[in-house]
Amino acid sequence: MKSIKAILAGTVFIVIVILFLQLLYIFVAVAYNAMADDFPVLNDIAPSFRYLIGIPVFISVMFIGGYITASIAGEETTLNVVLHCLVVGLITAIGMIYPTLGNADITVTGMVIVVLALGATVGGGLYRQKSIKAEVKKL
């Protein structure tokens, strides 16, 4: 039961934060487009701006989701932490990418996003486990 709670908590956190950030992105994009009308040079940097800001924020959210998952799971073994975080990463990454596919195939960018999501989620879980072990050593 603890495993299900951990997976559910990590997944819900990631989904809620990502949805909130997407809403925030819409507001920023509207303001950016309004500014681009007055400053045409902004139209050239719009695509790279999306990736330069979006990818680090996405990785951070996934990392924190993995940290939360590992905190609730409270597993002592690295394998269990990795498995819990992989499940959360797969659920959220596939949940984000699958609806966008429609009748298309997954692109290289989509595969990179899945790999980044899995890596960041597992990284957050392993970071949590490492910090717990460091606290135990201090005691």
CA distances, 109 to each of 51, 105, 106 (Å): 11, 11, 8
What confidence score (pLDDT) does residue 125 get?
94
At 76-124, the pLDDT tens digits run 788 899 999 999 999 999 888 888 777 777 788 888 889 999 999 999 9
CA 84 to chain centre: 15
Question: Buried b / exposed e across 67-94, counting CB within 10 Å, b at 16+?
Answer: bbbbbbbebeeeebbbbbbbbbbebbbe
- Asked if 57 and 119 touch (Cβ cutoff 8 Å), the reply is no
Indicate the average pLDDT of the chain: 86
Lowest mean pLDDT among 15-19, 28-32, 57-61, 117-121: 28-32
At 53-81, the pLDDT tens digits run 888 999 999 999 999 999 998 777 888 99
